[in-house]
Amino acid sequence: MASTSGFAGLTSGLRRHKAADSGPVRATADDAAQCKASAVERGYFKDPFIGCFVDRPRRRSPLIHRGYFVRVACLDRTVRAFVEAAGPSSQVVNLGGGVDSTFWRLAATGCNPRKFVELDLPAVTRRKARCIAAAPLLKAALASSTGEEATQVDHGEGNGVSVTAAAYALCPCDIGDPAAVDAALTSAGIDRSLPTLFLSECVLIYLRPERSDGLLAWISGAFPAAAVAIYEQILPHDAFGAVMVRNLADRGLALRSFEAYPDCTAQAKRLLAAGFHRCTVANMLGAAEALVPRPAMVAAARAEPLDEVEEWSIMQSHYCLALAVKEPDAAGAELGGRGGGAAGRAPEEAGGRAGAASEAGVPAGEGQGRVVGRRGWAEGRRADAPAAGGVIAAAVLMREEAMAGGSGGPGGAAGLVGGVVPAANPAAASNE
């Protein structure tokens, strides 16, 4: 892997990012990789690349394995649906991506966005760059998908390392600073005019609300065709949520946006307020119903026995997947012509209920449309949303009827492990 002395526009402001580069937050990246590697070893899903980022795999519990399987499956389905809908001009930005292997898994199956960019704290990018340089499997995948050797740039002690190639970039960045994100993405070759998906897995919740809101508003303002997929914790006010907060606090971690966005409805209103036209939010029981094929759920249930049936349902109800899109009229028309079926039709016409969000429910804010929701699910549409949603909305947003079994309905993802139980067991609170 080649080395060079500069990466235009990226090093500006890195010194002020050091304050955010806390050890406990960095440790969550390694913990997530350990959990995924353990789940892969037990056969929950295939990922030949995750082992390149884990020094000494440690086996986790069936409860953790099952949770990470659902997390990976839902986000993979979302990314692949976006790339397929937007085509070769699609771009993906992984905010706080840690030592994730999504880019390599996509490339291995021929799902290739125009650009895949990962932004994270300097120490995390340094560790990931070291893993890439040391793993022939990772370097070979970069070369095969880009046609050229990747370039590694060391920005000096405390400032991280970047890696860049034609279709991939890894950049040190404080994601809570929109100006820094803008500079990093510009240096990485992101084209704002192209459809771009932003991923956040348990990342925005560690930022103060004004910082995470500022980033979301910048995304919706800077990218005329954009989507976001946010996976994070919800429900801080019950017994399980309180224990989850304490467990993380014991590790030096604070969920700074937890109180501001405590449930699916609040998450939906947040996304509309940031400028996204349409959104759907579901707890992970409902998200699994909507996005994970039943055969995959059955296979996961057979991978190993799960004794913590109650804890599973409670834990999954305390995490959510929030999906939102911004599509101008022109983007809807241009992109809608590439697909068939639901593509190019409004989400409500394609099988969802986005239209109902403008007719009933609770206000999202002055001039921002309305949100409809119930326990574990919410959907919103801005008043200024284009009349017809494009193929991105049709492909990415979840459908309410697909989540019908998400609260423990027969044959659903929750039903495979016993359904939802009425009371929480605080001892089951997960660490992330």
Q: Does the structure show a pLDDT above 50 at 276? A: yes
Alpha carbon separation from 430 to 100, 126, 246, 315, 416 (Å, rounded): 20, 28, 10, 7, 20
Residue 67's pLDDT is what? 96
Q: Which residue has the higher pLDDT, 8 or 80?
A: 80
Q: What is the pLDDT of residue 154?
A: 85
Q: Which residue has the higher pLDDT, 218 or 343?
A: 218
Dihedral (Cα; 301, 307, 309, 311), 10-degree rounding: -120
CA dihedral 111, 189, 324, 263 (to 10 degrees): 100
pLDDT for res 247: 92
Instruction: Give me the torsion for CA of 170, 174, 175, 179, rounded to 10°.
Output: -100
Q: Nearest to residue 54, comparing CAs of 41, 42, 64, 63? A: 41
pLDDT value, residue 426: 40
Is residue 185 scored above 90 in pLDDT? yes
**Average confidence (pLDDT) over 233-256:** 94
**Average pLDDT of span 77-102:** 95
pLDDT attached to residue 17: 41
The CA distances from residue 140 to 88, 98, 113, 198, 335, in Å, are: 21, 20, 18, 25, 32
Give the per-residue pLDDT at 386. 85
Which residue ranges make up each domain of the chain? 2-428
The confidence score (pLDDT) of residue 391 equals: 87
Count how many residues are written for the chain. Answer: 432
**pLDDT at residue 321 tops 90:** yes
Q: Is the pLDDT of residue 284 over 90?
A: yes
Strand partners, 232: 320
Alpha-carbon gap, residue 201 to 99, rounded angstroms: 12
For the segment 35-79, what is each residue's pLDDT rounded down to a tens digit?
999 999 999 999 999 999 998 778 999 999 999 999 999 999 999
The secondary structure element, H or E, covering residue 284 is helix 284-291
Class level of CATH domain 2-428: alpha beta
The token duo for 342 is: 């639901």
- Residue 157 CA to residue 146 CA, distance in Å, equals 29
pLDDT tens track for 14-27: 443 443 445 776 77
Reduce the DSSP state of residue 152 to 3 states and report it.
strand
The two beta strands, 161-164 and 151-154, are: antiparallel
Q: Express each pLDDT in 381-414 by its tens digit.
A: 998 898 766 889 999 999 877 776 433 333 334 3
Both tokens assigned to 99: 């030592």
Q: Identify residue 105 by its one-letter amino acid code.
A: R
Asked if pLDDT for residue 268 goes beyond 90, the answer is yes
User: What pLDDT shows up at residue 369?
Assistant: 79
**353 pLDDT higher than 60:** no
Which of 98-102, 274-278, 407-411 is the least confident region? 407-411
> What per-residue confidence (pLDDT) applies to 157?
77
